[in-house]
Chains A and B, each alone.
Chain A
Amino acid sequence: MGRETEDMIVNQKDMLQKEGYLEAVTHLLFQLADDDFILAYRGSEWLGLAPHIEEDVAFSSISQDTMGHAAMFYSLLEELGAGDADKLAHARLAKDRKNAILLELANGPGTYLNEPQYDWAFTVVRNFFYVQAKKVKILSLKNTSYQPMAEAAVKVNMELYYHLLHWKTWFMQLIGAGGEARTRMEKAVTDVFKDLGGLFSQGATAVAFGENQLIDTEEQLIAAWKHEMTPIFDSLEMKMPKKFGMEKGDGRNGEHTQDLEAAIETLSEVYRLDVKASW
């Protein structure tokens, strides 16, 4: 272990002693982990149902990466004493989860096993807007005061490159196609904007994030997102809605919908069969 690394670890220990620091880091990690976890789950529900076979391969690969990011954030939480990573992922109630509401909403009417009338336009828009939001957060996290999170950000960023490219291609092509595709995409954009603000919200912990130099402010992140998205909207001759809404509430503060309750019930079914089992 090099001298530099040792110094860094000492600094990190000092920081964690600082009043409110550990709590703020923990909150931010829960927001990041829960966002990736629930969207990766929603992605996995498309398995076998995606529009074509190549998309099935691509989307499941992206969902696997995203679940890997969630697992890594939960491991960082475990290191900080928040509890066992698997338990954090599977055994927490909806009210304890910090994910944005936009990400928990069902893919569409029906369920995986029963008449899944999932909405591809909504899925493309939700994923594209989320990955771009994640990208601006991850770039900010490269400079976070919590070193393990900064290192994770470098790694996540490399994988995000391919996710962003993928969803951007779908978004441009479906809207650029015109006709029914464009109409459905425009509706999806309107719908997603109603809860898009939730992705950027830092909830009641926003001030603590700033005081501890953990991540840029909500306003800065939104500005960075708009900066990336505006040329894309312009090239498609689309108007970007002004309001980044949170109509269904703020997931960062534990507000959630029935959709999340149902998802947790399903995704934790195997885990609950035998919580001690080693898989």
Chain B
Amino acid sequence: MLREKVLAALQSVKDPEIDSISILELGMLEDITFHQDRISIKLIPTFMGCPALDIIKKNVEETVAKVKADEKIEVIFALHPPWTSDRITDTGRERLKEFGIAPPPIYIAESGEWQADCPYCGSTYTTLENLFGPTACRSILYCKACKNPFEAMKPVSTLM
């Protein structure tokens, strides 16, 4: 079925900045609509200022075009519903760890504080070094057990 082929194609589109995880596993896909003259793919951005968005758009167009050569592909970035970090799938959380990035914490204290386990050794003995990291969606932490610096995906929720 065409829909499954498109989904499989989308599974092969990775985050340009974290190439172990696909845009599906990140929870960026909101909708696929098959029109008579085109396939419309609705994605939602993780952070609005993310410079990878243009690259993702181009990669989706190129990859899906291979599924059905004469089809027009339309990629739309929508703001609604907003992306939240709980959209990352269980597989996606594992893929992040493979890359050395802790998945976003599920639990956030009332004060807004959160902690992430070390993606290398699994220790909870970690400290937050900088809420902001090398990309908009990541923070910098340090593991006091295995003495490695690491990054974590920031928790993002509509309750914030």
Contact = CB atoms under 8 A, between A and B. Distances in A.
B79 A72 contact: yes
Contacts of B129: 54
Interface of A: 1, 54, 57-58, 61-62, 64-69, 71-72, 148, 151-152, 154-159, 161-162, 165-166
Contacts, number: 71
A58 B134 CA distance: 9
B79 A162 contact: no
Given A71-B49, A151-B80, A155-B48, A64 B136 contact: yes
Given A72-B48, A159-B47, 17 more contacts: A54-B129, A57-B132, A57-B134, A61-B132, A61-B135, A62-B132, A65-B48, A71-B48, A72-B79, A155-B79, A157-B160, A158-B84, A158-B156, A158-B157, A161-B112, A165-B131, A166-B131
Contacts of A57: 130, 132-134, 140
A157 B159 CA distance: 10
A76 to B, nearest CB: 9
Contacts of A61: 132-133, 135-136
20 contacts: A57-B130, A58-B132, A61-B132, A61-B135, A62-B132, A64-B49, A65-B47, A65-B136, A66-B49, A68-B48, A68-B49, A71-B49, A151-B79, A151-B80, A155-B79, A155-B83, A156-B48, A158-B156, A161-B160, A166-B131
Question: Interface residues of B: mostly helix, strand, loop or mixed?
Answer: loop
A69 B48 contact: yes
Nearest to A61: B132
Interface string B98-142: 000000000000001000000000000000011111111000100
A161 B158 CA distance: 10
A276 to B, nearest CB: 18
A166 B131 CA distance: 8
B82 A65 contact: no
Nearest to B157: A158
Contacts of B134: 57
A72 B154 CA distance: 21
Ranked nearest first, the 7 interchain pairs of A and B with the lowest CB-CB distance are A68-B49, A68-B48, A58-B132, A61-B132, A161-B160, A151-B80, A64-B49
A224 B29 CA distance: 36
B145 interface: no
A156 B47 CA distance: 9
B50 interface: yes
A245 B156 CA distance: 35
Contacts of B131: 58, 162, 165-166
B80 A154 contact: yes
Given A57-B130, A57-B134, A61-B133, A68 B47 contact: yes
